Amino acid sequence: MSQKSIIFYLLSLIGYVFLQAALLNKLIIANTAFCFFYVGFLLFLPLNTDKLVQLILGFLIGLTIDVFGDTLGIHSISCVFIMFARPYWIKISIGDQVDSNSFINLQEISLPSMLIYSTPLIFIHHSFVFLLDSIGSGTNYNTFLKILFSTFFTFTTLYIIQLFLTPTQKK
């Protein structure tokens, strides 16, 4: 990874986490659709990132979001899990379209492959978040609907972000 792209990722990391903690944690549609779009940072990490670095990044980002949202542990667990699953899932879902030096963005892969790649991971992440949350609070009102709508919401947001960011990531 070049120095330039490291700076880019650092900046976007701060952007993702800040936006999530300050703004999107409060953007909830009908008490059902939540937007955890910081997951996008983890999903769109470069493919040649070391697995250990991925896990640690996932943990730290999850922890940061947890600290902001007062949900200690929930997002950390969810993020570490999807970061662990990510390399394997990439191989399975879009392994034939990307090589180890490429990025995951809309220029490299098509929208359908993007959907196939990202929605299951988002879904798993959200399932972890809402299930842990519902076990903890003892209310399981609408948990499945929350997971479903939030997955859709998060993906839509990420897609829009991708549309904005993709041109600047040109190699």
DSSP label of 168: G
Pick the closer one to other proteins by CB: 52 or 168. 52
- 26 Cβ partners below 8 Å, 6+ apart? none
CB of 124 to other proteins, least distance (A): 14
Listed residue (132, 35, 138, 125) closest to 86, CA to CA: 125
Report the Cα 56 to chain-centroid distance in Å: 14
Pick the closer one to other proteins by CB: 60 or 106. 60
Pick the closer one to other proteins by CB: 81 or 155. 81
CB of 148 to other proteins, least distance (A): 15
Burial of 111 by CB count in 10 Å (0-12 exposed, 13-18 middle, 19+ buried)?
A: exposed
Pick the closer one to other proteins by CB: 109 or 125. 125
Vertex 123 angle, CA 74 and 71, to 5°: 15
Q: Which residues pair with 104 in a beta bridge?
A: none
CB of 57 to other proteins, least distance (A): 11
CB of 153 to other proteins, least distance (A): 16
* Residues near other proteins, by CB under 8 A: 30-32, 51-52, 55-56, 58-59, 62-63, 66, 72-74, 76-77, 80-81, 84, 132, 135-138
Q: Which residues pair with 33 in a beta bridge?
A: 29
